[in-house]
Chains A and B, each alone.
Chain A
Amino acid sequence: GAVVSQHPSRVICKSGTSVKIECRSLDFQATTMFWYRQFPKQSLMLMATSNEGSKATYEQGVEKDKFLINHASLTLSTLTVTSAHPEDSSFYICSARRRDRGVNIQYFGAGTRLSVL
């Protein structure tokens, strides 16, 4: 159990276009999901926390108008990279929090490789 699906796995787009990434918890409900950015051979940088039914909270330095997050249901959060530019090229990965035997565990999606030309 505790499967998180992320789609698409890879996207290539032109500069100036918007890209939507979906994160779904397939077999559990998640009131909280997280969006990370991971640079090659580096750690996971938390971008924002997505809360079902309320506005996302963004980490310092992350532009909320650039990275739009919607968590419309208990199983789906979306990240839209608006007006993407080459510097937005990165690996974006989501996670969904689930409490298992008293432990808050983050279950990660497979990630989305974004390449902006």
Chain B
Amino acid sequence: GQQVMQIPQYQHVQEGEDFTTYCNSSTTLSNIQWYKQRPGGHPVFLIQLVKSGEVKKQKRLTFQFGEAKKNSSLHITATQTTDVGTYFCAGPKGGGSNYKLTFGKGTLLTVNP
């Protein structure tokens, strides 16, 4: 079945350092979404990428979708303590109109102030 893999599983950085998490799918994706879950919180939607090679930015966050639409990355420039949390990528799960998602295992980012 479809698998969505994410690396690294954990990342600890000093405040001000950059951070990148990578997402790889075993199948080609029509789109990919990214969610952030703060410690003790619930996942919150960040962005969706659809086009091959697409790059989108949200302030210090840069999201990329690979040319083959099987991988994606999230890069945070100059991390802040507010960036702490688990970042999940998610791809459509199967076909149909329910828009189910398969989530990666997530990357837990901790930031040392």
Contact surface of A with B, Cβ cutoff 8 Å: 32, 34, 41-44, 46, 49, 51, 57, 93, 95, 97, 103-111
Contacts and interface: CB of A to CB of B under 8 A. Distances in A.
A111 B42 contact: yes
Contacts of B35: 106
A109 B48 CA distance: 20
B20 interface: no
Interface of A is mostly: strand
B42 A32 contact: no
Interface residues of B, number: 20
B100 interface: yes
Interface of B: 33, 35, 41-45, 48, 88, 93, 98-106, 108
A41 B40 CA distance: 11
B100 A46 contact: yes
A104 B42 contact: no
Nearest to B106: A43
A43 B88 contact: yes
B98 A57 contact: yes
